[in-house]
Structure 1
Amino acid sequence: MSQSDFMASDLADPPLPAPTGASALGGLAAMRAARTSAKPKAGAGAAKPLRSSGDDLPPLAGPVDYLDAAPAWLISATVHLLVLIILGLSLVGTDGVGEFVLSLSLQDSGGEDFQDGDVDVPINLDEPPLAPGDALESAAVAVVDSSEMMADAPPAVAALGLEAVSDAPSIQFSLTGRSEGMKESLLRAYGGTSSTETAVTEALRWLARNQGSNGLWSLAGKYSDGAYSDNPDAATAMALLAFQGAGITPHSDRKSPFSPAVTRGWNALLKRQEPSGEFFHEGSPSGRLYTQALATIALCELYAMTKESRYREPAQAAVNYCIKAQAPEGGWRYQPGFDSDLSVTGWFVMALQSARMAGLEVDQQALERISGFLDAVAQDAGAQYSYLPGQAKKLSMTAEGLLCRQYLGWQCNDKRLQRGVEVLLRNLPNPEENQSHAYYWYYAAQVCHHMEGSAWRSWNQAMREVVPALQVREGKERGSWDPNIDQTDGVRGGGRLFVTCLATYMLEVYYRHLPIYQLDALKGGM
């Protein structure tokens, strides 16, 4: 299946033209361990895609459609959350984050990609309520400190398995924070600032103007400091995750300047999915399973956020492929069914959790096997982690391993988790080059956000200052981050788009996923 099969003429474009323009994952994998050689899968280009080339995304659903499709538990949870918000607003007033007013200035180049970053997308912040850097006032959402939610001690590491999986947090509420009203409330509650939100918007603008005319994004790009080799499937999945993290889908209000770009991106990416559920067509073979995990996360999120039936079959197919690709020892690495490392495995844990969040079928034994692999790379009695069994522990792998443990059922009062978080808090984001590790920051931000309390306050105080300050402020790359903020093992990371997406995910952390232990509290109160 060639990239030329998916030109712009085959896509069902929305009324507003989308911004256009252009393997880091292979390169990133190579930096983390010795390469594992593999042959590209045969016949990938000849396989019939799940979606026909003429298929279009569904029309925008109305409020009644969503209410009819919503399960009773979701409506009940929404009502509970709205009551909390209304009570909070009644106590602290209505001053908060102002609405971002954006406009797109687009041109048609006759089929050429706008990949040079020269299309300006001006932003107008009408009377921003906060000076950049000022913390939003705490209120609007009742936030319970994790230290107050003490549960029975979890089982020992060796005893984890199906029991731990069954006790995992109720993550089906996890994406509700992305709605417009909830975003403002969660920004206040968890310490977001006007600087963090402006940085997110600028990053989305950069992504929008670097989308290709075929709807895909590029890791190598025509922008500066691209990756060593390209992987459009992975790049597109990462870009879509950044937009979805801000609550933008193909079904968003058409007033959103980014919704057309997301629509075009999904039209293009879904056409590239194989009947087996796999997403991978070009790039380093060592990036094959990174690509699958990223695309699966994005697709499961899309289905969870929209509940549009057209997305269920491709999402379930992607999940099924993930399960089949799991190695016997419980993780994933470069090729399906062979070997495991923690870097790749962490992305698959998030893929399977996204599937559960969307209500898709996930083999529970696959989750049990992951816990077994995590035991193999655990150090310091489970508080720290290594890339491979027997290797030295690393900060990035410790953060990734702890996040996996949180999703697989470790409670916030688990001593191993708490000791691991202490390690993270001794290594806060630092603008110095030798402390710039975006990959580590990305995972650690999520771990600390789920822990809440003093752990999150300490991490966030550093992150919300350092990460926006490192964003490019002028020129054609304005809104992106230079790859040198990810000094993985002393070398450049995955290129400008890869690093920009990681930084964007970090700054969306306030609302991207609700803290999992808050979800447990909500579930217990319903």
Structure 2
Amino acid sequence: MTPNPEIPPTLGTAVPPADNPQGGKAGSPVIRRLDVLSEDSRERLLRRVAPAWAISGIIHVILVMIALVIFGGKKAAANVEDKIVSTSIEDSKDKEDNLVNDDVGFDADLQAATDAAREADKNVEAPVVENQPVDAMKNDSDAPIVGMAQGFGDPSKDSGVTGDLVANSNSKLGEGGGFNAMATRGLSQRGSGATKDALIGKYGGNTESEAAVARGLIWLAKQQKEDGSWRYDGGDKTNEVAAATGMALLPFLAAGETHKYGKHYQQNVSRGLSYLQNLVGSNGKVNQATSMYGHAIATIALCEAVGMTRDRSQLREKAQLAVNYIVKAQATDGSWGYTPGASGDTSIVGWQVQALKSAILAELKVDKAVLEKAVGFLDRVSTDSGSRYGYRDNENTTNLLSSVGLLCRQYISGWGPGTPGLIKGVDEFLKSGMPTRANFDIYFHYYATQVVHFFEGPAWHQKWNPAMRDLLISLQRKNSDDKNRGSWDADGFSIGTHCSRLGTTCLSLLTLEVYYRHLPLNKRDNAGLAELNR
């Protein structure tokens, strides 16, 4: 058989020589010496191994350089994104776990206002409920977007557009994820588990206060009527349906529940908003609101729902109409009365200012001239550097009216911890208005809690908040066999008289939700919660 020239002979193969100069017999087998056997280890390394390593090394260097060119930019972006996420989630991770402590009274069937177990990336927009009466959201890019992130501040400084509108649109559709991607800046913290829990921890809420909120929402949901409305159970039970419905919706909205997404109460909120929306006439008046009190409270609920969802449907249009009605109803002296155009008092003004604030947070149109006129009224009814307020003038001042006036100042004039009038006003609350069972006045406490919360400092952390929080927790009905479990008995003052258990419960819930209902207006330290306002 002829050997195949393509296959080299292996070690020890007998090969017939073509010529035998040594005289040996032809055809006798010989052992052919291969050159490879004479190589030492050094020569083998230089001839065979080293070139292979060199080629492999060059290839790997080229691949690494290509990878750096392709992925270097993305990696830098990823590092920036990681840094942003860490500011809002990592610091509060441990606190989330603490909110599910069964030792403080969480029942198995208790639907918590803040779900401590959820992660921020799970806060996605829930589908619109079936047969939902409120219109589905429309992505109307041409709709005017104006508003301010927090409070009003100085209209001349915080305006983002020229003309007669207070504006500063800092939020964009699609920023963040889920709730945060939809809500306007200043309201997104309500639906973010990590951000909300950080605010609860920083400003003095605790597991017991959130359990109280959860119980209260369960009771409140059970009071809703078949048509989606709520009714006061006090003296105003028949003629203030709009006010009762608006006030009942506010604690759900503060807890992050809306008509477009919600963990437990999406249907309740949807039905309530539908009821209010249908009350708004073509002129903006909220029918069934017998005074500007009820109109303002209903308007707050409509505006907050719009701001929390960026709803571009008819709901937004109705909210804007209701806001326009407030603007037109202002009296020449800058106040609001029971009826449009009539001169009013500090108490009514307080609700209108809250409604206008909610409109700005929802990026609706608000004429800044209205705010300036309201400041003029506040100047006339205040005394002692603006720390004390009366009803229609600056005589006979009370803690209640002063708390209303000071909250308006914080929203409109940008008063902060360094403002003399605010310092004096808060000091008076601490001297003569501290929350106790004997003087439980939820109307005053609702306003004063917001004022001191925005004031911050030792007045809030060491004095007001512990007293207010613990008083409300202790006064709530908690017995499992009590049909009013989760509610608060009517207080002995104006809210208890007119709005009874429903009104007292609504304002008590809003007071316990103060930690996250609105972001802090002022920062006392350089770091603060800047990442929560980013």
Q: Distance in 1 between matches of 2:341 and 2:235?
A: 30
Q: Distance in 2 between matches of 1:372 and 1:470?
A: 39
1:130-156 per-position Cα deviation (integer Å, ceiling 9, x unaligned): xxxxxxxxxxxxxxxxxxxxxxxxxxx
Task: Say if 1:341 and 1:388, in contact at 8 Å, map to a contact too.
Answer: yes
Closer, same or farther: CA 381–471 of 1 in aligned 2, 3 Å = same
Closer, same or farther: CA 359–81 of 1 in aligned 2, 3 Å = farther
1:424 maps to 2:429? yes
Q: Distance in 2 between matches of 1:186 and 1:355?
A: 23
May I ask how many residue pairs the two structures share in their alignment? 384
- Report the AA paired with residue 501 of structure 2: R
Q: Distance in 1 between matches of 2:358 and 2:260?
A: 19
Residue in 1 aligned with 2:271?
264
Residue in 2 aligned with 1:487?
493
1:246 maps to 2:271? no
CA deviation after TM superposition for structure 1 residue 173, in Å = 2.9
Task: Say if 1:169 and 1:517, in contact at 8 Å, map to a contact too.
Answer: no
Residue in 2 aligned with 1:12?
none
Residue in 2 aligned with 1:389?
393
Residue in 2 aligned with 1:88?
91
Task: Say if 1:248 and 1:262, in contact at 8 Å, map to a contact too.
Answer: yes
Q: Distance in 2 between matches of 1:298 and 1:341?
A: 22
CA deviation after TM superposition for structure 1 residue 264, in Å = 1.1
Q: Choose which of 371, 392, 410 in structure 2 pairs with 1:367.
A: 371
Q: SS in structure 1 opposite 2:87? A: helix
Residue in 1 aligned with 2:472?
467
Task: Say if 2:246 and 2:301, in contact at 8 Å, map to a contact too.
Answer: yes
1:69-97 per-position Cα deviation (integer Å, ceiling 9, x unaligned): xxxxxxxxx9987442235247x676331
CA deviation after TM superposition for structure 1 residue 383, in Å = 0.8
Q: Distance in 2 between matches of 1:229 and 1:121?
A: 36
Closer, same or farther: CA 432–497 of 1 in aligned 2, 3 Å = same
Q: Distance in 2 between matches of 1:301 and 1:477?
A: 28
Task: Say if 2:385 and 2:420, in contact at 8 Å, map to a contact too.
Answer: no
CA deviation after TM superposition for structure 1 residue 249, in Å = 0.3
Q: Choose which of 159, 174, 178 in structure 1 pairs with 2:186.
A: 174
Q: SS in structure 2 opposite 1:199? A: helix
- Report the AA paired with residue 98 of structure 2: G
CA deviation after TM superposition for structure 1 residue 169, in Å = 11
CA deviation after TM superposition for structure 1 residue 199, in Å = 1.0
Task: Say if 2:320 and 2:365, in contact at 8 Å, map to a contact too.
Answer: yes
1:346 maps to 2:353? no
- Report the AA paired with residue 188 of structure 2: T
- Aligned-residue CA RMSD (Å): 3.2
Q: Distance in 1 between matches of 2:456 and 2:359?
A: 24
Residue in 1 aligned with 2:502?
497
User: Which of structures 1 and 2 has the larger relative contact order (alpha carbons within 8 angstroms, sep 6+)?
Assistant: 1
Task: Say if 2:381 and 2:394, in contact at 8 Å, map to a contact too.
Answer: yes
Q: SS in structure 1 opposite 2:185? A: helix
Q: SS in structure 1 opposite 2:242? A: helix
- Report the AA paired with residue 274 of structure 1: G
Q: Distance in 2 between matches of 1:357 and 1:525?
A: 13
Closer, same or farther: CA 302–81 of 1 in aligned 2, 3 Å = farther
- Report the AA paired with residue 261 of structure 1: N
- Report the AA paired with residue 97 of structure 1: L
Closer, same or farther: CA 525–191 of 1 in aligned 2, 3 Å = closer
- Report the AA paired with residue 88 of structure 1: D
Q: Choose which of 193, 205, 210 in structure 2 pairs with 1:192.
A: 205
CA deviation after TM superposition for structure 1 residue 174, in Å = 2.2
Closer, same or farther: CA 416–85 of 1 in aligned 2, 3 Å = same
Q: Distance in 2 between matches of 1:512 and 1:245?
A: 5
Task: Say if 1:227 and 1:494, in contact at 8 Å, map to a contact too.
Answer: yes
CA deviation after TM superposition for structure 1 residue 161, in Å = 7.9
Q: SS in structure 1 opposite 2:282? A: coil
1:123 maps to 2:126? no
Residue in 1 aligned with 2:181?
none
Task: Say if 1:245 and 1:505, in contact at 8 Å, map to a contact too.
Answer: yes
1:477 maps to 2:484? yes
Q: Distance in 2 between matches of 1:196 and 1:252?
A: 23
Q: SS in structure 2 opposite 1:459? A: helix
For normalisation by structure 1, the TM-score amounts to 0.67
Q: Note the 1:104-503 alignment, pairs <5 A.
A: 122-123=109-110, 163=156, 173-179=185-191, 180-220=193-233, 227=236, 229-253=238-262, 256-281=263-288, 285=290, 288-310=291-313, 311-408=315-412, 409-433=414-438, 435-457=439-461, 458-474=463-479, 475-484=482-491, 486-488=492-494, 492-503=497-508
Q: Distance in 2 between matches of 1:234 and 1:303?
A: 18
Task: Say if 1:165 and 1:368, in contact at 8 Å, map to a contact too.
Answer: no
Q: Distance in 2 between matches of 1:319 and 1:241?
A: 17
Q: Distance in 2 between matches of 1:344 and 1:364?
A: 19
Q: SS in structure 2 opposite 1:309? A: coil
1:394-428 per-position Cα deviation (integer Å, ceiling 9, x unaligned): 10111111110001122331111111111112235
Closer, same or farther: CA 523–99 of 1 in aligned 2, 3 Å = closer
CA deviation after TM superposition for structure 1 residue 468, in Å = 1.3
Q: Distance in 2 between matches of 1:496 and 1:207?
A: 10
Closer, same or farther: CA 430–517 of 1 in aligned 2, 3 Å = closer
Q: Percent identity?
A: 37
Q: Distance in 1 between matches of 2:111 and 2:361?
A: 35
Q: Distance in 1 between matches of 2:108 and 2:278?
A: 28
Task: Say if 2:303 and 2:358, in contact at 8 Å, map to a contact too.
Answer: yes
1:274-306 per-position Cα deviation (integer Å, ceiling 9, x unaligned): 111111326xx4xx1011111111111111100
Q: Distance in 1 between matches of 2:100 and 2:454?
A: 26
Q: Distance in 2 between matches of 1:276 and 1:290?
A: 17
Please list every run of 5 or more consecutive structure 1 residues that lacks an aligned counterpart in the other structure. Answer: 1-77, 101-119, 130-159
